[in-house]
Structure 1
Amino acid sequence: MKIETIVQSGHYLPINDLAFSPDGRLLATCGADESVRLWDVAAGCEAAVLRGHTGPLYKVRFSPDGRLLASCGWDHTVRLWETETRRCLHTLEREVSNAHMGVNCVAFSPSGRYVAAGGMAVGKRPTPVCIWETASGALSRRFEVAQGVHGIAFSPDESVVVVSGYSDDYRIGVHEVATGNELLSLSEEEGPEAEDVSSPVPVAVWRDGRTLLIGRPGEVGLFDLALREETDRLPVGGNVYDLSTRADGTLLVAGSEGFSVWDVGARKKLEEIAVKARRLSPDRRLLARADGRHLELIDRETGRVIRRLGTQLELPQTSGNMQRQFALAADPLLPVIASAAPDGLVRLWDLRSGGGPKTVKAHRSSIEVIAFHPYGELLATAGDDGVNFWRVADGSLVREVPFEGGVRALAFSWDGTWLVVAQRNLVASVETDSGEVLATASFPDTEVLAVATAPYGKECFVGTFDQLFIWRPTRSEQSSVMKDTLPLGALAFGADGTLAIAAGYNKWMGSNTRGVVSLLNPAVGFARNLQGHAGEVRAIAFGPDGDAIATGGADGKLVLWDVEGGEERFKVEAHAGDVTGVAFTSDGRFVASIGLDSALRLWDTASGKLAATLISLNEEDYVAVTDEGFYSATKAGLRSVMFRLDGRIFPFEQFDLQLNRPDRVLSRLGFAADDLVAAYAQAHERRMKQLGFAASDPSELEGFEPPRVEFLTPPPVGVSAERHIKLRVALHSPRRPLDRLHVYCNDVPVRGRAGVDLSDLGSGGELDVEVELASGDNKVQLCAADAGGVESRRETFRVVYVDPERKPNLYVMTVGVSRYARPSYDLEYAAKDARDLEAELKRLQRRFGNVESLVLADERATRGAILEGRAFLERTRVDDHVVILFAGHGTLEGADYFFLPTDFDPESLADTAVSYEEIQGLLDGIPARRRLILLDTCHSGEPEELPAPTERTALGPDVHEVRSFRHFSLAPRPKGAQRDGRVNLLERLPDLFADLRRDSGAYVIAAAGAAEYAREFGELKNGVFTSTVIQGLREGTADRNADGLITVSELHRFVTQSVAALTGGLQRPISRRENLADDFPVL
């Protein structure tokens, strides 16, 4: 079965509703971003995105068996999804809504045979309620009620359905399912107070089939349907938002004060949960609520948020989706695509590079539109502060042209000498070279929506809310060529002069919003209408040859049309929400689309298949995924990658080795140079060999059966009340005897790198495993290895443990050698680095109970003393933090790194120096799990292949090249010579590939790359790397998001940027290893 790659994109607009599946494994959410998302509760991740609705969604509900999920919203439809396959089984739209208010209520019958839905009221008109058969999607019954629908509840035998609404008299109708006839109408005298006339009325039918439960402020009324009278009331307190009967026969009341569980027959409250949330899990251990566009899971015992799920995309908070938010343009000459977002950033994706986008902070807020110069050398961007011109090659700003009031559209003239800028009631032409405004035209009686410039001419076409104009800037003339039109939202010219006009009402204006594209070419007498979108057409682009046109609509679809025949070449469900931009690559092989879901997608114009999805998370991190599941991502971007196989979710490390393939991404796109693709492929082969694998392609692994791990006792989900959890697992190996069981907690091997010996179990058996949890979030993973080293899939669950009784302690071990037994190797400041960092961490101990330290400097820093430092670290406890610094000489022996203690012998490094393996061994199996290693030495980065020598640049008088053997030297390259292409690739490798080798689980930051030299800073009398670490901690400058905490990734980013700037790029700290599961705070 194919492995599916899932990017954790999350909702990008607020969540409106959520629901747990009956077994509690899944959470479904829907929101204003027009998507439904499924979340795996145990794994704590997004499991699927369900697209197809148009407009915001209001409700999601699971069927009683969890097999189906119903969603409804503004687009008047109810969709039934199969949760296992994520396939839409039925789209139900038989006159559900009245006018254009949408469907806001949906409910399944107890057996799941029926699904019913109703909409919001429009004025005094009746509202239809529909009941469908879930198996066939056929309409079973339709009837009308006098008010908008808020609640729907079936009786246990499904003979009657109760409908409640938003009403000033609390009107409730009881209807016969078979006929739709109203059997009983309730209109309570004790309705809500005047200010609450639109309050909802939740309803439910108890298991006896005759007791109707009615939610009111502070109470639940019990109405006997047979006696037709109210028999009792349950004093629940607070406002009642939702009522639901549980599988055990109890009633769950959700209200403003939390949740309560009732035995209705005994009129007895069984349980109260005073936590404000939207939903309670079936086992009553977890609560869920929406916080804007994020989903929060809450422990019911402590009320603590244990997990916050959602997008990593850094966008400003928005409350609606009615404005254009993402823009797109393609370089007409090169395979470069530009995208823009509400964060004010422009992303330049070079499809030849294999890397992420170059980001430019183009505007202080949202960018509405972008446009490439015809020759591709410039990019124009428009925000609320005006228009900026950027040089594409280096992302530098060329000039700024202010325009007050925002800009709606841009279009360069065919020769690029001027740019048309459109505002609400004004169009201007701007000279490209000077930024001077050459001419303007006013449209006071209408609203400008789009502009396009004619090829090889001086005309500009202006689309407005009701007319099409021709404007000639050089003559300051304008004339209307089409009147009384629909709003003209997008315009584009083909190379032969064919004009494409998108006409249609904005989808928010009503249900009749189907978009029409008109193609006009008066020169050859050509005219044709293209109709294929269920919503307005928001974007148009002609292919380079003019024979194809792409359109993107508010229905989320991308359509590729044949211009001559007018037929659809293909239509695809491109985005959740509007498609806001389309563009062709320079060679026409791909059409790019971007939508309100923020993703940039490339579609093969020949086949209509998705080729790749590109997602930029922030200024540094990205993920690029092909249709085959291969991907390229930064290390931080890997946190947004999960896999699905056989209906199960796995973390990125499970298949990262097979699928993290920048070479395959580049090959799929077909723009990169062959030698670059080959270099990435070779890097992957080296990575496979380092990890002991021979297979280089996932296809070679198909049909291969690895060992298996199965939980016999269900692992805890949510919060554990116990620090120590006990698991019983079954282990099986079909090919070779079992060898080891590896247990990880937040990527740290809790039983050490050797794991648990399984040799006594042969090919299978059962085992009891105990895991000690750390305070906070724990990602626990178990995997078995056979005698051949083949590992099982990592069985993963997440659980939170809270220990409020003690602060963690910080253990600091610093090693610095300035004075060697052989004086010729002496350094200036390495020993001082060790003392200074220890002193700084002691001074900044506010987060810790105590700071324990061990400083080994100069003559104390012998090989024996360093290795004996493990005894100091073994005193730690699980929640403690460990920081280790090595400052001094480092060297490579082949591909192996060694730190040189004071008593090393250059003739016998293996016996007298400290290897990287031994440094990791200091931490292997110690209790503390939050571990940071800092290596301020030469050659401390991960070795791949030694690159060409680095060009010397001016360092200034205070930076000295002294952290290297005296006989090593930097050979200068002729001035102006280009760096070897391998160097650029090797710079990126540490950021592309996670280190999947079993090690100590520490986060390791190295001062210099494998071929680089660490330097010392004369002014501060420290190494450049260590002084930067101290500065970032002392001054708080490493706190990138200003939240008062400095995480290891923030420290790493700060140190990398600062050291590179101080050394002119000659020293670039890198991470040898990152713990992607736990980005813990250093301070």
Structure 2
Amino acid sequence: MKFKKLNSNALYTRTWDIESGKIISDKLSYEWGIGSSIYTLMGVKTDILAVSPDGKKVVVYTEQYKALQIWNRQFSELLANLNGYITDVTSASFSPDGTKIVTVSFGNNIAKVWDASSGELLSNLRDPISPILHAVFSPDGTKIVTSSLRNTTKIWYASSGELLTEFADYSDFFGSAIFNADGTSIMTLSDRNVRIWNVQSGKLLASLNGHNDFVISGDFYSDNSKIVTSSSDHTCKLWDAINEKVLYTFFTVGNIDYFVQIPSGYYKASAGATKLLHYVTKDLKVITFEQLDVKYNRPDKVLEAIGNTDTALISSYRKAWEKRIKKLGIDTTQFRDGYSVPEADFVNRDSIEYEQKTGTLRLRIRGTDNTYKLDRFNVWVNESPLFGQRGISIKKRKSNSIDTTITIKLSQGENRIETSITNVNGTESYRMPLHVNYTPAVKQKEMIRFIGIGIDRFADSQHNLEYSSKDIRDLTVKLKQKYKDSIIIDTLFNENVTITNVKALKQKLMETSVNDKVIVSYSGHGLLSKDYDYYLSTYSVNFNKPEENGLPYDELESLLDSIPARKKLMLIDACHSGEVDKEEGIAMQKMADSLGLAAKGIIIDQPQTQQHVGLKNSFELMQSLFVNVGKSTGATIISAAAGNQFALERGDLKNGVFTYSLLEAMNKYPSIKISELKKIVGERVEQLTGGLQKPTSRNETIAVDWSL
């Protein structure tokens, strides 16, 4: 299903495919557009009002001289003057065959019909009681529809100027009217409402209400069963014109992001648009989007609702959603209407000032669950959990409520503070952000803490690499050049990369402050066990059984959990460093075993003929459709490759491709947002590897984006 959106100055038409969310085309109409202005050689502003169907003639109006004229498209020849106006001309429209023009001027009760060749006035269409706002020809050119200030629409014979019929709706302000393809119906656009009328009888056929501001444009489907509208509320809607209901609402965010929502509340959106969402309760409380995104972000339901017939695609989308729910460990019974969800908030929210002058804030947290006992609670500042990913356990209290007061440290600048409770069934209360801004009397220094782990030499030397240690050393040099005395660096290389030494780094990170930035970078082998658990190589790892002396991924990520610093970035330049679908991988392995195929722990790549069955259709689709909203340490984790891909080194680059791209971006941009770094590096790695390697995010912050 295609959807066209005309930009604000009408210079191009952008066409979107609603089902895929992709931009199909951007078509430039002319070097100028209807509604835009040009300037003559004398510097006089001239407005372009209409272009003939063949593109050869242009109707322009010059306010300074009250001159309405027809020019050739190149503005090299004046074809005709349309004389007789003393007020500003506001609109003009050619007939479909280009032989006539109808014009409207401000505050005037008359629409004028002109000969497009000679400029001769052919007829006046006079509204006896109200100024005419808009006029346009029917598709066959035999009729003209006008809309007036007093909410009346009239149909006229174009040849004689005789009135055919009129209809009025005094509840609305009419803006414009549009014929359908065969000229039997018209659509009138007004303040928030759309109406469809029979041209011959003037009978009201349908009334469509749903926009929140003035409706500015619309069009019919070829069979008249549907119409599409756009509004000053920045949305477009597709309507069922027969049953008088909206089918879906569509809007764009920036140049490439989009959002499509059906009346039941389910939506399909790009990741960029999704991150900007928030939910507002009936009592105007804001709930963080990620908790409801798992319920309402349903591309499968949207495609079904808009009539998509590709059952395989819809099934793939549904499986991707189910995979997401399972990965997050969510009990979908909480999605039912009437299901009991625990409630928690800051009791003293209303007494807390936005501007804070002290570095601490006292918060009283109260939470209840009418049905189940409570299991734990947590507090987040700028998406970083103050009490670790699991929070503080209150299970032993065997209580349905909590009322406690805590004091937290504020970060310099904006603080987005949230709290929630979770019951014993794993159902979490909705988080309602509290925003405060802390401005210390003396600006506090922000330190950078860099942890670098590089390993390219192993006890089992047949698996030695070329550039992993150099990757870390190069990053160290670059960061030192950038931050000078504001950075503290700790590194581990080769023989020193042991599980014990890596775990010991946590104590160093506990010395950070809430304003510090922490960067952890690992470069080496990434290994998958037979059970598809992910390990990072240590010096003495068993490559055939990575669970022996391999560093579990969770141990590396736990370095960032519960530390004071709230701006945290982890970079992993290793094979299979993106998430892998363990369930699907095991199923594939069983299939391979049944066929007598050998498999190694470090290999997950499957023949292309099998990929469409598993990873491509569910897990990878899940990653492409949805923002990762799982519980995390509050860090952004950028992986060099997808879970079923290898991270590559290139001799000509003298680095791993991922690390090379990181260094390249840091050299090019003195300051760069983490989200921009992820995007730029991802695109560059794909380019350098010909699509063989695609960086992914194991986790990312959603509302907070800091600069490197």
1:845–1:480 distance in 2 versus 1, CA, 3 Å = same
Which residue of 467, 488, 493 corresponds with 2:138?
493
Aligned-partner Cα distance in 2 for 1:613–1:796: 27
Do structure 1's residue 1058 and structure 2's residue 659 form an aligned pair? no
Aligned-partner Cα distance in 1 for 2:48–2:60: 5
Which residue of 633, 652, 655 corresponds with 1:1022?
655
1:589–1:730 distance in 2 versus 1, CA, 3 Å = same
| Residue ranges of structure 1 left out of the alignment (5+ in a row) | 1-333, 370-381, 387-403, 431-435, 505-512, 947-963, 1037-1043
1:632–1:972 distance in 2 versus 1, CA, 3 Å = closer
The residue aligned with 2:705 is 1079
Counterpart mapping for 1:511-590 below 5 A = 513-520=149-156, 527-532=164-169, 537-543=174-180, 546-553=183-190, 555-571=191-207, 575=211, 577-585=213-221, 588-590=224-226
Q: Offset of 1:579 from its aligned partner?
A: 2.6
Aligned-partner Cα distance in 1 for 2:693–2:676: 19
The residue aligned with 2:93 is 451
Aligned-partner Cα distance in 2 for 1:343–1:825: 60
- Residue by residue, what CA displacement relative to the aligned partner does 1:689-709 show, whole Å, maximum 9, x if unpaired? 1122342793xx211112232
Letter matched to residue 638 of structure 2: I
Q: Offset of 1:969 from its aligned partner?
A: 7.2
Counterpart mapping for 1:131-170 below 5 A = none
Aligned-partner Cα distance in 1 for 2:638–2:164: 64
Q: Offset of 1:684 from its aligned partner?
A: 1.0
Q: Offset of 1:812 from its aligned partner?
A: 0.9
**In the alignment, is the contact (CA less than 8 A) between 1:335 and 1:671 conserved in 2?**
no
1:437–1:646 distance in 2 versus 1, CA, 3 Å = closer
**In the alignment, is the contact (CA less than 8 A) between 2:18 and 2:260 conserved in 1?**
no
Aligned-partner Cα distance in 2 for 1:534–1:440: 44
Matched position secondary structure for 1:813? strand
Do structure 1's residue 905 and structure 2's residue 538 form an aligned pair? no
The residue aligned with 1:645 is 281
The residue aligned with 1:482 is 123
Q: Offset of 1:928 from its aligned partner?
A: 0.6
Aligned-partner Cα distance in 2 for 1:361–1:1034: 36
1:335–1:1029 distance in 2 versus 1, CA, 3 Å = same
The residue aligned with 1:1048 is 674
The residue aligned with 1:352 is 19
Aligned-partner Cα distance in 2 for 1:752–1:676: 38
The residue aligned with 1:821 is 459
Which residue of 114, 121, 146 corresponds with 1:502?
146
Matched position secondary structure for 1:679? helix
Counterpart mapping for 1:134-533 below 5 A = 335-341=2-8, 346-353=13-20, 355=21, 357=23, 360=26, 407-410=48-51, 412=53, 422-424=59-61, 425-427=68-70, 441-445=79-83, 447=89, 449-454=91-96, 459=99, 461-465=101-105, 467-469=111-113, 476=117, 479-483=120-124, 485=126, 489-494=134-139, 499-504=143-148, 513-520=149-156, 527-532=164-169
**In the alignment, is the contact (CA less than 8 A) between 2:147 and 2:177 conserved in 1?**
no
Letter matched to residue 340 of structure 2: E
Letter matched to residue 339 of structure 1: L
Q: Offset of 1:405 from its aligned partner?
A: 5.5
Which has a greater percent of strand? 1
Which residue of 627, 637, 640 corresponds with 1:1004?
637
1:589–1:1065 distance in 2 versus 1, CA, 3 Å = farther
Which has a greater percent of helix? 2
**In the alignment, is the contact (CA less than 8 A) between 2:225 and 2:242 conserved in 1?**
yes
Aligned-partner Cα distance in 1 for 2:679–2:303: 27
Deviates more, 1:733-742 or 1:587-596: 587-596
**In the alignment, is the contact (CA less than 8 A) between 1:578 and 1:595 conserved in 2?**
yes
Letter matched to residue 720 of structure 1: Q
**In the alignment, is the contact (CA less than 8 A) between 1:718 and 1:799 conserved in 2?**
yes
Q: Offset of 1:362 from its aligned partner?
A: 5.2
Matched position secondary structure for 2:361? strand
Aligned-partner Cα distance in 2 for 1:787–1:751: 18
Aligned-partner Cα distance in 2 for 1:865–1:1062: 34
Letter matched to residue 817 of structure 1: I
**In the alignment, is the contact (CA less than 8 A) between 1:533 and 1:557 conserved in 2?**
no
Matched position secondary structure for 1:583? strand
1:902–1:576 distance in 2 versus 1, CA, 3 Å = same
- Residue by residue, what CA displacement relative to the aligned partner does 1:124-146 show, whole Å, maximum 9, x if unpaired? xxxxxxxxxxxxxxxxxxxxxxx
| Residue ranges of structure 2 left out of the alignment (5+ in a row) | 40-44, 62-67, 586-599
- Residue by residue, what CA displacement relative to the aligned partner does 1:187-235 show, whole Å, maximum 9, x if unpaired? xxxxxxxxxxxxxxxxxxxxxxxxxxxxxxxxxxxxxxxxxxxxxxxxx
**In the alignment, is the contact (CA less than 8 A) between 2:230 and 2:236 conserved in 1?**
yes
Deviates more, 1:987-996 or 1:613-622: 987-996
Q: Offset of 1:749 from its aligned partner?
A: 1.0
- Residue by residue, what CA displacement relative to the aligned partner does 1:535-576 show, whole Å, maximum 9, x if unpaired? 7754433345654422223x3433333334323344456555
The residue aligned with 1:926 is 563
Aligned-partner Cα distance in 2 for 1:632–1:579: 24
Which residue of 680, 703, 724 corresponds with 2:338?
703
Counterpart mapping for 1:591-990 below 5 A = 591-647=227-283, 648-671=285-308, 673-695=310-332, 698=335, 701-714=336-349, 716-763=352-399, 764-803=401-440, 804-845=442-483, 850-893=486-529, 896-943=533-580, 989-990=622-623
Aligned-partner Cα distance in 2 for 1:357–1:905: 48
Matched position secondary structure for 2:456? coil
Aligned-partner Cα distance in 1 for 2:193–2:455: 64
Aligned-partner Cα distance in 2 for 1:800–1:1062: 42
Aligned-partner Cα distance in 2 for 1:979–1:967: 18
RMSD of aligned alpha carbons = 3.9
Matched position secondary structure for 1:1028? helix
Aligned-partner Cα distance in 2 for 1:364–1:1031: 39
- Residue by residue, what CA displacement relative to the aligned partner does 1:63-102 show, whole Å, maximum 9, x if unpaired? xxxxxxxxxxxxxxxxxxxxxxxxxxxxxxxxxxxxxxxx
1:835–1:342 distance in 2 versus 1, CA, 3 Å = farther
Q: Offset of 1:797 from its aligned partner?
A: 1.5
**In the alignment, is the contact (CA less than 8 A) between 1:742 and 1:784 conserved in 2?**
yes
Aligned-partner Cα distance in 2 for 1:981–1:477: 69
Matched position secondary structure for 1:676? helix
Q: Offset of 1:673 from its aligned partner?
A: 2.3
1:515–1:902 distance in 2 versus 1, CA, 3 Å = farther
Letter matched to residue 408 of structure 1: L
Deviates more, 1:886-895 or 1:520-529: 520-529
Aligned-partner Cα distance in 2 for 1:901–1:587: 66
Aligned-partner Cα distance in 2 for 1:515–1:787: 60
1:861–1:678 distance in 2 versus 1, CA, 3 Å = same
Aligned-partner Cα distance in 2 for 1:1067–1:422: 54
The residue aligned with 2:65 is none
Aligned-partner Cα distance in 1 for 2:621–2:537: 28
Q: Offset of 1:1048 from its aligned partner?
A: 0.9
Q: Offset of 1:1033 from its aligned partner?
A: 1.8
**In the alignment, is the contact (CA less than 8 A) between 1:813 and 1:883 conserved in 2?**
yes
Aligned-partner Cα distance in 2 for 1:364–1:810: 52
